[in-house]
């Protein structure tokens, strides 16, 4: 049993529901099928050639920028996930290949422009709360140094610490590794992302995972206030 709590402080920022996918029996080493690799190549080509200012002005990305600005955070220093991913692809000259789970949801992020949090389900302790921090805190992002969390920053956290900060960075202590068996995908979204749009993104992730992970079990949930699953 796992409990999810959507704090009212987040609803005040316009995040009135959070969409979650729980994937069991995943395999980070699963060979990706040719159909997915073709889609990955197409998204890589798009990322290398798109007009980044145009992408930045789309309603979905604008929604993320509005959220950051509403809590006094710099968009330049904390770019929405997809803009950061596009810049990373351009810097490298190619899309990163990390493991099959991450590769699949990175492609979906580029496709939908959504920030998708991905975490190892078995590393999470107790409940997850989606909230404005309401206290000074610290956060260790993947492949980075510790960040200061101000009391107005929006985060989601379990009983041990912060899983994701400002919807732009995921936490080191909850990341996928070579042993990951169960995953959770979290799409907080913003004022311009409907529940349907986010559920469709999770459905595409489910389909891509299922193509190469035959024992996959996948469930989606919409959290509006408090929910136990």
CATH number of the CATH domain containing 17: 3.50.40.10
Residue 8 lies in a domain: yes
The pLDDT score that the predictor gives to residue 168 is: 96
Residues 148-165: tens digit of each pLDDT = 999 999 999 999 999 999
User: 113 exposed, middle or buried (CB, 10 Å; 0-12, 13-18, 19+)?
Assistant: buried
Residue 12 lies in a domain: yes
Which residues contact residue 178 at a Cβ distance below 8 angstroms, ignoring those fewer than 6 apart? 28, 29, 99
Number of domains present in the structure of the chain: 1
Q: What is the C-alpha to C-alpha distance for residues 196 and 87, in angstroms, rounded to an integer?
A: 28
CA distances (Å), origin 214, targets 37, 89, 109, 177: 18, 30, 23, 20
pLDDT over 90 (residue 36): yes
pLDDT over 90 (residue 225): no
Residue 199 lies in a domain: yes
pLDDT over 80 (residue 58): yes
Residues 117-145: tens digit of each pLDDT = 999 999 999 999 999 999 999 999 999 99
Q: Do residues 124 and 137 lie in contact, with contact meaning Cβ atoms separated by under 8 Å? A: no
Domain span at residue 96 reads 3-224
Least confident of 12-16, 72-76, 119-123, 223-227: 223-227
Span 102-128, average pLDDT: 97
pLDDT over 90 (residue 226): no
Span 90-94, average pLDDT: 98
Q: In which band, very low, low, confident or very high, does the pLDDT at 54 lie, cut at 50, 70 and 90?
A: very high
Mean pLDDT of the chain, nearest integer: 96
The pLDDT score that the predictor gives to residue 178 is: 96
CA distances (Å), origin 174, targets 33, 121, 122, 158, 183: 27, 8, 8, 10, 10
The pLDDT score that the predictor gives to residue 229 is: 79
Which residues contact residue 14 at a Cβ distance below 8 angstroms, ignoring those fewer than 6 apart? 67, 190, 191
Name the percent of the chain lying above pLDDT 90.
96
Q: In which band, very low, low, confident or very high, does the pLDDT at 1 lie, cut at 50, 70 and 90?
A: confident
Structure tokens of 194? 């409907």
CA distances (Å), origin 81, targets 150, 166, 170: 20, 10, 10
Residue 229 lies in a domain: no
């Amino acid at each position: 049993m796992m409990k999810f709590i959507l704090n009212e402080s987040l609803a005040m920022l316009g995040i009135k529901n959070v969409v979650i996918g729980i994937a069991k029996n995943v395999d980070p080493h699963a060979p990706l099928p040719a159909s997915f690799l073709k889609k990955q190549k197409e998204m890589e080509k798009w990322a290398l050639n798109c007009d980044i200012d145009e992408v930045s002005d789309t309603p979905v990305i604008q929604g993320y920028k509005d959220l950051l600005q509403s809590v006094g955070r710099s968009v330049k220093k904390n770019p929405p996930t997809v803009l950061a991913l596009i810049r990373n692809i351009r810097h490298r000259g190619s899309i990163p290949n990390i493991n099959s789970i991450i590769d699949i949801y990175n492609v979906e992020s580029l496709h939908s422009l959504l920030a998708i949090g991905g975490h190892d389900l078995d590393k999470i302790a107790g409940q997850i709360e989606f909230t404005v921090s309401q206290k000074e805190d610290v956060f260790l992002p993947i492949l980075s140094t510790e960040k200061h969390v101000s009391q107005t920053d929006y985060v989601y956290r379990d009983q041990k610490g912060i899983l994701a900060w400002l919807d732009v960075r995921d936490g080191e202590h909850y990341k996928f590794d070579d042993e990951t068996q169960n995953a959770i995908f979290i799409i907080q979204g913003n004022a311009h992302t409907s529940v349907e749009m986010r559920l469709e993104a999770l459905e595409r992730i489910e389909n891509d995972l299922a193509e190469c992970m035959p024992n996959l079990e996948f469930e989606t949930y919409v959290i509006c206030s408090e929910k136990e699953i």
